[in-house]
Homo-oligomer: A and B are copies of this chain.
């Protein structure tokens, strides 16, 4: 009885390997084969095998002259040798029954022919042996749950375990997104750049991540895609289970020759936007939005509609949030006269009880603040909230109120603007431990909420 292998069983040995070889490990600093070995040794607890035909030892580890000389099994091989040596190494991988490889080496399809031909030959060997190929021309993969930094990129020290998978075309962009997430204390479930996509495509990864239990959100950075239909088909299946947010740049902007034909290029780009929308992929317009929206989706459920109430300790940040809502397809919720009256009693006569609700000095008292937020949340016409608080005196009370409320009752979906002058603000950590995503600017909070609302719309169309 043949049992079909699940996608998790297929990929897990590659993303959660027990043993990793570095083929092309080097003792000379600033070489890829050195940086890769260093990164791996930093945290990985499994077996590490440097492979180098000349050296008996690298960085204190016994080195092997070839893959076949390694005594134990090898789940994952990091291939850091020059392009012409990659094919023979792949043949060795097949013999050694390696499960997956990461080819960081460049000099393949990205150069046109004959690089494309070489890549096809390498991939053919891998396909035949059932080896998963990440790359070529990638910086590698990072899996915080496996304590694995498999690539020649930054050390990614401080990268937290979390629920966002980051999959990019470019290695550099994967690295910069992760560095930005470290800085903002945002956790990651798995991250990699697919580079030239030997035999793993975005569509494959999306299907895997849909099943992978640690991932709640899939964040993509895309340049050109050879087979957009495969991606869109995979996305359509997956988005009902997990949200996908993507930042797609027009690769055409690179080309001098085509650059001047802006009209047709814009048209092509518009086609992409339409296809993404149809597939249910949420679109980000820059790196910041990509991370901000992914974070909202990791912490909060999608709202049932687009009617937003803004509750703010200061007028201006509320106006900014309202302005962004207006430009991002959100609606400012109408409050019933009863709600407005109840708010007026708590807030006093001086500030707005319309939406945005300007709490001002009433925020000085935690209980009053809780009541204000609860009344707003219970208003039937409100689907989601933006809560704004500045960090000083009154604002910190308001933050306490929302956390206290989160312990007492079910909250409607919300995002929090928390103006902080330090990155490792303990308040932000506390908010996010309570699943309340906090943003350092009110416009960013509102844009993030608009991504959350879009996901609700995608789900509701079924």
Residues of A whose CB lies within 8 Å of any CB of B are 29-30, 35, 106-107, 110-111, 153-158, 168-176, 179-180, 182-183, 193, 221, 223, 249-251, 253-256, 259, 262, 286-288, 312-317, 319-320, 322-326, 332, 334, 349-352, 354-356, 360, 364, 388, 390-394, 419-423, 440-444
* Contacting residues, chain B, for A356 (C-beta < 8 A): 254
Q: Are B320 and A287 in contact (CB under 8 A)?
A: yes
The CA-CA distance from A224 to B315 in the complex, in Å, is 13
Q: Are B175 and A249 in contact (CB under 8 A)?
A: no
Q: Are A182 and B421 in contact (CB under 8 A)?
A: yes
A84 to chain B, nearest CB (A): 12
In the complex, which residue of chain B has the Cβ closest to the Cβ of A322?
B253
The CA-CA distance from A106 to B172 in the complex, in Å, is 50
**Interface core residue of A169, A316, A317, A323 (most chain B CB under 10 Å):** A316
Known contacts A169-B316, A317-B173, A322-B254; decide if A351 and B106 are in contact (CB<8 Å). Answer: yes
**Interface core residue of A110, A169, A324, A441 (most chain B CB under 10 Å):** A441
Please provide the 7 A-B residue pairs with the shortest distance between their CB atoms, ordered closest to farther: A170-B316, A172-B314, A173-B316, A249-B323, A154-B392, A172-B316, A179-B421
Q: Are A443 and B286 in contact (CB under 8 A)?
A: yes
How many chain copies does the complex carry? 2
In the complex, which residue of chain B has the Cβ closest to the Cβ of A317?
B172
Given contacts A253-B332, A256-B354, A287-B320, 7 further A-B contacts (CB under 8 A): A30-B364, A111-B349, A172-B314, A179-B419, A183-B421, A253-B323, A255-B354
24 examples of A-B residue contacts, CB within 8 angstroms: A29-B393, A30-B364, A106-B350, A110-B315, A111-B350, A158-B421, A171-B314, A171-B316, A172-B314, A172-B388, A173-B320, A176-B441, A179-B390, A183-B420, A183-B422, A223-B316, A249-B320, A249-B323, A253-B325, A256-B332, A256-B355, A259-B326, A286-B443, A288-B288
Candidates B249, B286, B423; contact of A441 at CB < 8 Å:
B286
A188 to chain B, nearest CB (A): 13
Q: Are A390 and B441 in contact (CB under 8 A)?
A: no
The CA-CA distance from A158 to B420 in the complex, in Å, is 12
Q: Are B354 and A254 in contact (CB under 8 A)?
A: yes
The CA-CA distance from A36 to B403 in the complex, in Å, is 28
Q: Are A394 and B250 in contact (CB under 8 A)?
A: no
* Contacting residues, chain B, for A176 (C-beta < 8 A): 316-317, 390, 419, 441-442
Q: Are B107 and A350 in contact (CB under 8 A)?
A: yes
The CA-CA distance from A159 to B461 in the complex, in Å, is 49
* Contacting residues, chain B, for A287 (C-beta < 8 A): 320, 441-444
The CA-CA distance from A305 to B221 in the complex, in Å, is 31
